[in-house]
Amino acid sequence: MTQLGELLSIQQLRYSFGSRVAVKDVSLNVRQGEVFGLLGANGAGKTTTISCIAGLLKDWTGRMLFNGQQFAPAVHAHDRLQLGYVPQELAIYPNLTAEENLKFFAKLSRVPSSEMKQVVASNLELAGLSDRRRDLVATFSGGMQRRLNLACGLVHSPALILLDEPTVGVDPQSRNHIFETLMRLRAQGHSLIYTTHYMEEAQRLCDRIAIMHDGTIVAVGTHEELALSIGDRQANLEQVFLQLTGRSLRDE
Amino acid sequence: MNTIAAAWVLALKDLKCFVRDRTALMLSILVPIALVTVFGWIMAYAFGGSGGMPKVTLHIIDEIQSPAGEKLIKRLEKHEMLRVKRVAAKDGQSISDGSAAAEKLVREGDANHVLIVRKPKPTDASEESNVTAASTAVGNRQAYPEQVLVRDPGRQMEDRIVQLALMQVTIQEQGDTVFANGVEKLLQKEGMAEENIKSIRGWMTDISSTFTEFFNADEPTEQTPTTVDGDLSETPEKTQSQSLEQLPTEAIEEDASGMDLNGLFEFAREVMPMETIDVAPPGRKQQVTYQQAQSVCGMTVMMLLFALTNCGSVLLSERENGTLRRLFAQPISRNSILLGKFMFVFAVGVLQMTVLFCYGEWMFQVGLFRDLPSLIVISVTWIAAAGAFGVFLAAISRSARQAESLASLLILMMAALGGCWFPLQMMNLPPLLDTVCKSTMTYWAMTGYQGMLWSQLPWYSTNTLIALGWQWAWCFGLTILAVFFYRRNYCRG
C-alpha cells in the first residue's frame, strides 16, 4: 500500500469518567484516504475515543493534530467542520422526510444554499433513497434508516469520517450497501475511523486496525502485521483479537 | 409458560423497575398529594372556609365621618359576608369628593364595589310629605347617611353578595323606610291612584314601626329609637344574621327555585334607600362577564404553560434519541442548540396564543383585540416567561417522564395559586397564602391579562408594568437557571 500522509495524529489521549479512566494514553495516526479500524470489546474505550475526536467530550488530556495543526474539536466549531460523525444510534428525525433530514444537517454543516440541491441529491443517491426522498423516515425500514444515518454525516464532504458501529442491526443487503459506500468514500480520498466489534467487518474494510482493550491500544497495524505480532501468519482477526485481549467475558 | 404466568413475570419486572426509579416513585406519590393539598387548601378559602360563603371586599369612603356613618360602617365590618376596607385620603383625612375617588378605584380595577357614605340630601317639598311620615316614626331617621354604591356591573357574583349584605344592614337600620318604599312601589306598579297611595303611606307609619321592631327584636340596645349620637357599642346580631345567611347560597344559584331572582334583586334595589352607580371602563363590551374574562385568561395562561413545557421537553427527546450527540458534533455552538429550543417554544407560544385568542374572541366576544399593542406586549411577556419555564424544566430533568411529572405538579399548583381557575379576589386568603400566590408567575400573568381585559388598562399603566416586570424577572431567572443546568446536565464532559 502506498504510504500516505498523516491526516490525524493523536498522542497520549486520556479521558476519565469520574474516577474511572476510560481511555488511557492512546496514541494513533490516521492517514489520508485510509480506513482505520478501532476494534474492541464492549467497554474497551472505542466510543470514548471517537467521542473525544468528534468533539463530544472536551475534558481530555493529550494532543491532537489535524493536518499537522492543533486540533480541538470540542472548542472550535471550524475543527468540527473537518469531521463527519455517524453515531451508533439512529440520530435522524423520524418525522422529517429523508430529504429534509439531509437538508437539515447540510445547513448545520454550512453547505452553501447554491449547492444544497445537488448535495442532497447526491447523498440520497449514495444512501439509495432517491425514490423515497419525500417519505417520512418513520416509514423506513431499519436498513434504510441506517443508510440515511450514514448519509447525514457526509453531506459536507468531510476530510475525516467517524463511524461508530454503523452496521448495528442492519440486514445483509444494507450492510453490503454501507460497505460499498465506505469503499467509494475511501476511493474519493476521505479518511475513515471505523469502530466495531465485528471481526469480519474490520478485516474486510480496514486498511489498518487498532485493537483496544481496557482503554488502551494493545496492537495496531494491518491484518498481516497483527497476525505476525502473535506469531501466526495464518491467524484470522478473531484469533488475533482473542490472543491479545484474553478470553474472559467483558461486562463493562 | 402460559399467558397469565408470563404477564405476571412481566408485571413483577415492571414493578421492580418502578420501585427502583426513586424520582419517578416520589413524583408519582407527591403529585397527587400536592394536588389534593393545594386544591383542598385553596377551595376551603374560596368558599369562605368554615364560614360558608366567601367574603367580598367592600371599599368604603366615609365622606362625613359622622357617628351615624360610623355606626353603619361598624355594622358592615361585622358582617360575615363582607371584608370592609376603608378608603381615606393620603393624609388620613376624609375624602371630600367620594364619587370621583370611587369611580377611579373601580375604573382602574383596584376595587369592584365602593360604598360612599355621605350627608343625606335635603328633601324637596314634594317628597317631604311622603318621607316625613315614615321618618318621624323612628325618630331621627332623616339624619341617616346617604349611601351610594359605585360598582363594577360585570362582577355579578360579588355584586349579589354585596347587595344582600347591604340589604340586610339597611333593613336593620331603616326597615321602616324600606318597607314603606316597597309597598309604595308595588302599588304604583299595580296602577293605584297617587292620592290613594299617599293615604296608604300614612297608614303605614304604624306598620313601619312594627316592621322595624321586628327586625331589631334580637338587638335590645337598638330597639328604642336611637339618636345620631347613639351608643356604638357592639350588638349581637346573630339571629338576624343566621336567618339571612341562608339566603345568599340559594340566591346566587339563579333560578334554582324557579324564582326570577334578577327581578327580585332589581325590585329590592329600587326600594333600598341607596343610589347605585355602575362604572365600567369605556372600552369594555357590556355583555362580558367577569367569569368569561377570567376563564379566557386563566385557561390561556395555564394551557400555554402546558404546551411550552411539552415543547421544552424536545431537548430531552433529542438526548434520548441520540440526535443531541449528533448536534453536538456539528460545527455549531452548544448554546445555539438551547437558544434554538427557546425560539421554538416561543414560536409555538405565539401560535397557540393567536389561536386561543381568536377562538376566545369568537366564542365570548371579550374584547381581546380592543387594545392590540397591550395584548401583544402582555402576551409576548407571558410567552417568554412560560417558554423559559418549559426549557428550564427540560434542563433540570433527567428523563422525559420525570419532566412530565414535574411539569404536571408545578403547572397545576401554579395555576391554582395564580388564580387561573378561581378568581383570587373571591377568596379570603390568609397573608401567608396570599404571599405564596403572589410569588407565582401565573399570578402576574393573570394580573396583566385581567388588567387589560377587565379594567381596560393599557400595557404602560402602573399595575400592568408591575405585572410585566415580575414576569420578565421570572423569565430571566429561569433562563439563567436553564443555561446553568443545560451546561451541567447536557454539556458536561
Residue-wise pLDDT tens digits, B178-199: 667 777 777 777 777 777 777 7
A106 vs B: CB within 8 A:
no
The answer to whether the CB atoms of B331 and A92 lie below 8 A apart is no
Average pLDDT taken over every residue of chain A: 89
B91 pLDDT more than 80: no
d(CA A192, CA B337): 27
Percent of chain B with pLDDT over 90: 18
Location of C-alpha cell 493536518: A67
3-state helix, strand, coil in chain A (%, to 5): 40, 25, 35
The answer to whether the CB atoms of A80 and B330 lie below 8 A apart is yes
Check residue B280 and give its pLDDT.
75
Q: Look up residue B333 and give its DSSP letter.
A: -
pLDDT, average across residues B77-87: 86
Percent of chain A with pLDDT over 90: 62
Q: Indicate the length of chain B as a whole number.
A: 493
What structural domains and CATH numbers belong to chain A?
A: 1-76+200-252 (3.40.50.300)
For the question of whether the overall pTM of this predicted structure is more than 0.90, the answer is: no
B167 pLDDT more than 90: no
Among chain B residues, the shortest Cα distance to A93 is held by B323
A87 vs B: CB within 8 A:
yes
Residues of B in contact with A88 (CB under 8 A): 322
Neighbouring C-alpha atoms within 13 Å toward the C-beta of B461: 20
The phi-psi region of residue A110 (left if phi > 0; otherwise alpha if psi is between -120 and 50; otherwise beta) is: left
CA of A247 vs chain B CAs: smallest distance (Å): 32
The answer to whether the CB atoms of A108 and B333 lie below 8 A apart is no
Check residue B246 and give its pLDDT.
38
Q: Look up residue A139 and give its DSSP letter.
A: G
- The residue ranking higher by pLDDT, B360 or B415, is B415
Long-range contacts of B119-125 (CB under 8 A, 24+ apart): B119/B63, B119/B64, B119/B66, B119/B145, B119/B146, B120/B144, B120/B145, B120/B146, B121/B146
The answer to whether the CB atoms of B322 and A110 lie below 8 A apart is no
Point out the residue among B328, B331, B493 whose CB comes nearest to the CB of A81. Answer: B331
Residues of B in contact with A108 (CB under 8 A): 327, 330-332
Check residue A104 and give its pLDDT.
92
The SS3 of residue A116 is helix
Lowest mean pLDDT among A53-67, B128-142, B464-478: B128-142
The answer to whether the CB atoms of A55 and B329 lie below 8 A apart is yes
Substitution target from A17, A49, A51, A56 for chain B, most B beta carbons within 10 A: A56
The distance from CA A26 to its chain's CA centroid, rounded to whole angstroms, is: 17
B138 pLDDT more than 90: no
Nearest to B35 by CA among B415, B458, B471, B451: B415
The answer to whether the CB atoms of A56 and B329 lie below 8 A apart is yes
Location of C-alpha cell 363594577: B152
Please tell me whether the interface predicted TM-score (ipTM) of this complex is above 0.90. Answer: yes
Lowest mean pLDDT among A31-40, B144-153, B202-211, B323-332: B202-211
A213 vs B: CB within 8 A:
no
d(CA A41, CA A54): 20
Place B241 in a pLDDT band, splitting at 50, 70 and 90.
Answer: very low
Check residue B445 and give its pLDDT.
95
Place B274 in a pLDDT band, splitting at 50, 70 and 90.
Answer: confident
Among chain A residues, the shortest Cα distance to B324 is held by A91
Among chain B residues, the shortest Cα distance to A60 is held by B493
CA B154, B159, B160: angle at the middle one, nearest 5? 125
d(CA B74, CA B80): 12
Average pLDDT taken over every residue of chain B: 74
The answer to whether the CB atoms of A91 and B321 lie below 8 A apart is yes
d(CA B476, CA B389): 10
What counts of helices (H) and strands (E) characterise chain B?
Answer: 19, 5
Place A32 in a pLDDT band, splitting at 50, 70 and 90.
Answer: very high
Residues of A in contact with B327 (CB under 8 A): 108
Lowest mean pLDDT among A16-30, A202-216, B65-79: B65-79
CA of A79 vs chain B CAs: smallest distance (Å): 8
DSSP E strands, B279-341: none
Place B40 in a pLDDT band, splitting at 50, 70 and 90.
Answer: low
Among chain A residues, the shortest Cα distance to B321 is held by A91
Instruction: Please give the grid coordinates belonging to residue B442.
Output: 401565573
- Reported as type and span, the H/E element at residue B17 is helix B3-20
Among chain B residues, the shortest Cα distance to A150 is held by B326
Check residue B65 and give its pLDDT.
82
- Per the CB < 8 A criterion, the answer to whether B65 and B95 are in contact is no
Summarize pLDDT for A54-80 with one digit per residue, the tens.
999 988 999 999 999 999 999 998 999
Place B238 in a pLDDT band, splitting at 50, 70 and 90.
Answer: very low
B328 vs A: CB within 8 A:
yes
Nearest to B478 by CA among B345, B373, B370: B345
d(CA A185, CA A192): 8
A18 vs B: CB within 8 A:
no
Most confident of B44-53, B242-251, B345-354, B389-398: B389-398
- Per the CB < 8 A criterion, the answer to whether A23 and A14 are in contact is yes
- Please give the backbone phi and psi of residue B15, each rounded to the nearest 5 degrees, phi first: -65, -40
Check residue B163 and give its pLDDT.
83
Most confident of A8-22, B247-261, B273-287, B410-424: A8-22
CA of B326 vs chain A CAs: smallest distance (Å): 7
- Reported as type and span, the H/E element at residue A192 is strand A191-196
pLDDT, average across residues B460-482: 95
pLDDT, average across residues B313-318: 85
Contacts of B209 by beta carbon, 8 Å cutoff, 6+ apart: B137, B138, B176
Instruction: Please give the grid coordinates belonging to residue B370.
Output: 380592543
Amino acid at B354: T
The SS3 of residue B64 is coil
Place B45 in a pLDDT band, splitting at 50, 70 and 90.
Answer: low
Lowest mean pLDDT among B124-128, B162-166, B424-428: B124-128
- Per the CB < 8 A criterion, the answer to whether B454 and B112 are in contact is no
B406 pLDDT more than 70: yes
The answer to whether the CB atoms of A55 and B327 lie below 8 A apart is no
CA separation, residue B216 to residues B9, B223, B273 (Å): 76, 6, 18
Q: What pairing do the DSSP bridges indicate for beta strands A6-17 and A20-31?
A: antiparallel
